[in-house]
Amino acid sequence: MIGATFTAGAGTFDDGGLRSGGAGLVVGRNRQKQPVTLRPFRPAPTRMLVIGGVGCAQLLAFRALAIGARLFIQTAREQVWDAFLRRCGVGRETAAFLPPESAPPIAATLGAPHLVIVDAGAAVGPPPSAGGPWQATLVVRDDLASWDEGLLQQSDVVVLQRLSPAEAAMAASVLGIRQAQTYLPQLPGEMVGLVSRARLQWVMLSSTPTEQALLGSVARP
């Protein structure tokens, strides 16, 4: 049974780490069924990484919209994200597509934070810029490969869906959570490993009926 919380060494993620309860971007629920939230929008830029698929990234994007974030999307799968925006009833005043390696045309603020989504899919490319204050950059990777080591190391928050044994071994080694290597290939479709600089939590995404109707399954394909 997956139920451990692992510590991966010293260090903290100031004002952006994992919190149970309170305001912020809701990721899901922990073993005690308490909400687990992130504070990705802060005076410093935040780097986030999702390993697993576009469904999980869209769920986080949907929840970011709910707390007032504006989306800027860089992707080669524009049709997939355009369909997501249409289903959610999101207009272009709230979400926009950007060319690769481009910055949002306006600066993020405390009252209007930005979530920049870099949907790299299976492509290989340089790590995106972290951006500026009140901006979170969410990189989406379908699979975890050897060239993603830098992304793992540089990210303030990593969301891991079910991994293959080889992917689990790499993630556990780079992130310093070797004890979790056995569990990562066993995760149910709605569970993720949520990692900050020093801590791993197992979290059920707990999609609501509305989210399920709009987004469908968030399980890794």
The answer to whether residue 35 sits within a structural domain is no
Residue-level pLDDT at 208: 93
Dump pLDDT digits (tens) for 5-21: 544 433 333 444 555 44
The answer to whether residue 75 sits within a structural domain is yes
Task: Write phi, then psi, for 95 (nearest 5 degrees).
Answer: -145, 140
Cα separation, 37 vs 20, in Å, equals 6
The answer to whether residue 147 sits within a structural domain is yes
Q: Give the mean model confidence (pLDDT) for residues 94-114.
A: 91
pLDDT of 125 > 90? The answer is no
Helix axis angle, 54-66 to 78-88, nearest 10°? 40
Q: Give the mean model confidence (pLDDT) for residues 129-142.
A: 90
The answer to whether residue 131 sits within a structural domain is yes
Written as six digits, the tokens of 171 are 């993630």
The answer to whether residue 30 sits within a structural domain is no
Residue-level pLDDT at 190: 93
Residue-level pLDDT at 15: 44
How many structural domains is the chain composed of? 1
Question: Where do we find the tokens 């369909």?
Answer: 83
Give the CATH number of the domain where residue 204 resides.
3.40.50.300
Please tell me whether the overall predicted TM-score, pTM, comes out greater than 0.95 for this model. no
Are residues 155 and 48 in contact, defined by beta-carbon separation less than 8 angstroms?
yes
Question: Where do we find the tokens 């990593």?
Answer: 158
pLDDT of 205 > 90? The answer is yes
The residue segments making up the domain with residue 166 are 43-99+112-209
Written as six digits, the tokens of 131 are 């951006």
Residue-level pLDDT at 92: 81
Q: Give the mean model confidence (pLDDT) for residues 137-146.
A: 92
The answer to whether residue 34 sits within a structural domain is no
Q: Which amino acid is at 44?
A: A
Across-strand partners of 13? none
| DSSP H stretches of helix in 125-207 | 149-154, 165-175
Dump pLDDT digits (tens) for 19-54: 544 458 999 999 899 999 999 999 999 999 999 989
The answer to whether residue 70 sits within a structural domain is yes
Residue-level pLDDT at 181: 93
Q: Give the mean model confidence (pLDDT) for residues 200-221.
A: 92
pLDDT of 2 > 90? The answer is no
